Amino acid sequence: MLQVFNNNPYQENTYILYDETGECAIIDPGMYTAAEQNAVVNFIRDNKLTPVLLLNTHCHIDHVLGNKFVFDQYGLKPQFNIGEQEIMDAVVAYAPAMGFRYDPSPLPEVYLPETGTVSFGNTTLELIFAPGHSPAHLCFYNRADNILVGGDVLFRGSIGRSDLPGGNHALLIKNIEEKLFTLPGDCTVYPGHGPETTIAYEKETNPFF
């Protein structure tokens, strides 16, 4: 099961994935205001969920604004690929320049590999390494439910921007074609911004392909 929260001035999608065990993963916590923080905490409490994983697809500011809050609330340190660490480190200087207050994210105890899985409850998420928007971007694929939490790689009718540090347009296109477009056509993609879509819809209609 999946719940989405739209957070911060970048309109970033924060996801809570949970299953019948009551355990859940918080993915890309972008909560910035108290109201945004409360919405996530209240959902977790009202559904009697136990957060056990904090995952970042990548470490741009809009996807990590809530990392410290999640750590303070639930004691979870983020997990992401080590190639994103320099992006995370840069947020400390970048945030005030952009007018954001930013409580620095705790450092991971565990970095995620480029391939493999991460699990909670009865749920297994496959790691899909898809840099191009950022240097070491990961997507999380739940094969059992056929859903992809895709971060800023593939959007409905668009793709992630590649003009930020560590971005690479050709690499982004290649990873989408070789790693995402090989998923089942009816796989639902939950992106880092905007509405969900499906692999088949994007293969047929996305103007970048």
Mean pLDDT rounded to a whole number for the chain: 97
Q: Indicate if the pLDDT at residue 48 is higher than 90.
A: yes
Q: What are the DSSP E strand ranges found in the chain? A: 2-7, 12-18, 23-27, 50-55, 78-79, 117-120, 123-129, 138-142, 147-151, 154-155, 158-159, 188-191, 197-198
Residue 178 is classified by DSSP as: I
What is the spatial distance between Cα 31 and Cα 25, in angstroms, rounded to a whole number?
A: 15
**Topology of the domain comprising 2-205:** Metallo-beta-lactamase; Chain A (3.60.15)
**What is the mean pLDDT of the segment spanning 144-154?**
98
Q: 49-93: per-residue pLDDT in tens?
A: 999 999 999 999 999 999 999 999 999 999 999 999 999 999 999
- pTM beyond 0.95: the answer is yes
Confidence band for 165, pLDDT divided at 50, 70 and 90: confident
Domain boundaries, the chain: 2-205
Report yes or no: 45 and 5 within 8 Å, Cβ to Cβ.
no
Report yes or no: 45 and 170 within 8 Å, Cβ to Cβ.
no
